[in-house]
Amino acid sequence: MDERKTALIFKAFCDENRIRILKMLRSGEKCACKLLEELNVTQPTLSHHMKILCDSGVVVGRKEGKWMHYSISGEGAKIAKDLLKELTSTDCGCRKEKG
- Fill in the DSSP letter of residue 95: -
Enclosing domain of residue 72:
3-82
Q: What is the pLDDT along the chain (99 residues), one digit of tens a residue?
A: 899 999 999 999 999 999 999 999 999 999 999 999 999 899 999 999 999 999 999 999 999 999 999 999 999 999 999 999 999 998 766 655 555
The pTM (predicted TM-score) of the whole model is: 0.86
Beta strands in the chain (DSSP E): 30-31, 59-64, 67-72
Residue 91 lies in a domain: no
Residue 42 sits in a domain whose CATH number is: 1.10.10.10
CA 19 vs. chain centroid, Å, equals 9
The number of folded domains in the chain is 1
Residue 41 lies in a domain: yes
Residue 94 lies in a domain: no
Residue 64 lies in a domain: yes
Q: Residue 80 in contact with residue 93, Cβ under 8 Å?
A: no
Residue 46 lies in a domain: yes
Q: What whole-number distance in Å separates Cα of residue 98 and Cα of residue 85?
A: 28
